[in-house]
Amino acid sequence: MRIIRGKYGRRRFDVPTNITARPTTDFARENIFNVIENLTDLEGARALDLFAGTGAVSFEFLSRECASVTAVEKAATQYNFIVKVARMLDDDNIRVVRGDVFKFLATVATPYDIVFADPPYLLENFAEIPGKILDSKAVAPGTLVIVEHNKDHDFSGLPGFLERRTYGSVNFSLFRVPEP
């Protein structure tokens, strides 16, 4: 895993061979972060990374000066890897939560400035994820939400939809939570 840019840019970490996550490619991650940085200021922002996997997105947020990052990951191998990298970076601005994303969304009380979700493409209720995020207390008016998905999903009918970006086989739907 490579952190692309920022204070930890070009740092590499060996991902365990038994990891079950499908990490966002460097190409797609670099491009979507260019889009994110054109839509919002990352410096000082509070970011939430759902289905964090290897933590590549979380560490990219940290590297680009987000004030705090919360990474939610259920799988033990991925969770332990994120914790290990956070210790290696010696950065106190990341909080790693081992747990179910849906339970986290049901109990979160404080909104974030940016929410990124990269759920497993074959997750049974995949199509419900953007709506669950947009209906949760993890967001407030102005929150930027990015959901990674395959070409089979179209979320353009949801409130706050901004655009869809495609990089190879990776698709991102972007939302800005509207004012009530």
Looking at every residue in the chain, the average pLDDT score rounds to 93
What's the pLDDT at 162? 97
What's the pLDDT at 37? 96
Task: Tell whether the torsion through CA atoms of 142, 157, 60 and 79 is positive or negative.
Answer: positive
- Two tokens, residue 107: 């109990």
pLDDT digits (tens, 9 = 90+) for 124-158: 899 999 999 999 999 999 999 999 999 999 999 99
Task: Decide which of 3.40.50.150, 2.40.420.20, 3.40.640.10, 3.40.50.2000 is the CATH code for 26-176.
Answer: 3.40.50.150
Task: Tell whether the torsion through CA atoms of 156, 139, 7 and 11 is positive or negative.
Answer: negative
CB 96 within 8 A of CB 69: no
Domain boundaries, the chain: 26-176
pLDDT digits (tens, 9 = 90+) for 45-96: 999 999 999 999 999 999 999 999 999 999 999 999 999 999 999 999 999 9
| Separation CA 111–CA 143 (nearest Å) | 8
The answer to whether the predicted template modeling score (pTM) of the entire model surpasses 0.75 is yes
Using the CB atoms, write b or e for 134-165: b if 16+ within 10 Å. bebebbeeebbbbbbbeeebebeeeebbeebb
